[in-house]
Amino acid sequence: IEAQDTPETILIRKENIERLRRGLSKLSQNYRELLVLEIKGLDREEIRKMLGIENMGAVRTRMHRARRNLKKALEERVTETFI
């Protein structure tokens, strides 16, 4: 939270964080773990080493799938909200 943030900005940020948490909770543990490490600021090489993944191609593929699944989970939540 920044000093110049308005109450509305703070509320929107909190809602976005909660939405992201719900989306992440719908992912498999493997995909969730990849994305959480990326959110924490680790680069792909660090993630690869930490998770014991043999090659960068596998990391890139898994990250792509994890993001795609998160996007679907977030879109499902928006659809549920408007139905």
Gap between the Cα atoms of 21 and 32, Å rounded: 10
pTM of the model: 0.79
Task: Please give the helix or strand (H or E) that residue 26 lies within, else none.
Answer: none
CA dihedral (9, 70, 33, 51) positive or negative: negative
Mean pLDDT for the stretch of residues 52-64:
96
Q: What percent of the chain has pLDDT over 90?
A: 78
**Is 69:34 a contact under the CB 8 Å cutoff?**
no
Per-residue confidence at 77, pLDDT binned at 50, 70, 90? low
